[in-house]
Amino acid sequence: MPAIDLIRNPSGEARVSVPIRTQRLLLRPFEATDVEGITEMLADPEATRWIGGVKSAAEAAASVMRMKESFKGRGWGTLAVLPHDTPKCVGYCGVRPLAHTQEVELAFGLSRTCWQLGFATEAGSACIDATFRALPLDSIVATVYPHNTRSIAVLKKLGMREESQVFGIWPDSLALLFRITRRDWAERA
């Protein structure tokens, strides 16, 4: 089924079962209390280098509310990431519509304090599993800039394969498109 057919969700019910619990993480729809953690992450130039750059506190708050409302409206989307040992949101992970396409994209971003801990892979794997279990999609894609080697490594660990080059956002006008098919996911499970 094309993802475009999954945009409207008149019932308002969650299609992806949440919260999602992994060995070390809780992934759940965003709440107003998550603004602080997302504001800190989006204020860090290194943490935001590949995800659109530094954002103000107001922009971070708007992002949290947009992700919250998008999940509520579709029943699937980007989730807050919280380690089990802290009540603080340290980033986001989930699937969302890829603008100007009929694709669903895996997206993730984490505070630098959570880098190199395997959280992106753990959260990404859980989101891919939950999405394929809940939604009748043929595949999930991800876009990444060629120099973002850490995210490329995560995508490969998730079983995603580089498929093509696509237009990025200036000044990084070239991006890579990765994809995992339902069939590939099922073979890994």
Q: Is-above-0.75 flag for pTM? A: yes
Q: Is 180 part of a structural domain of the chain?
A: no
pLDDT digits (tens, 9 = 90+) for 66-78: 999 999 989 999 9
Check pLDDT > 80 for residue 12.
no
- Is 36 exposed, middle or buried, given 0-12, 13-18 or 19+ CB atoms closer than 10 A? middle
Q: Is 189 part of a structural domain of the chain?
A: no
- Which of the four pLDDT bands, split at 50, 70 and 90, describes residue 168? confident
Q: Is 69 part of a structural domain of the chain?
A: yes
Domain containing 46 equals 3-137
Q: Is 42 part of a structural domain of the chain?
A: yes
Q: Is 146 part of a structural domain of the chain?
A: no
Tell me which of 54-58, 91-95, 185-189 is least confident: 185-189
CB burial string 55-92: b at 16+ within 10 A, e below:
beeeebbebbeebbebbeebbbbbbbbbbeeeeebbbb
For residue 71, give the CATH number of its domain: 3.40.630.30
Q: Is 161 part of a structural domain of the chain?
A: no
Q: Minimal CA–CA distance to 67: which of 91, 102, 45, 101?
A: 91
Joined tokens for residue 56: 């103000």
Total domains in the chain come to 1
User: Could you tell me where the beta strands, DSSP code E, fall in the chain?
Assistant: 20-21, 25-28, 78-83, 91-97, 104-110, 139-144, 161-167, 174-181
Q: Is 166 part of a structural domain of the chain?
A: no
Q: Is 158 part of a structural domain of the chain?
A: no
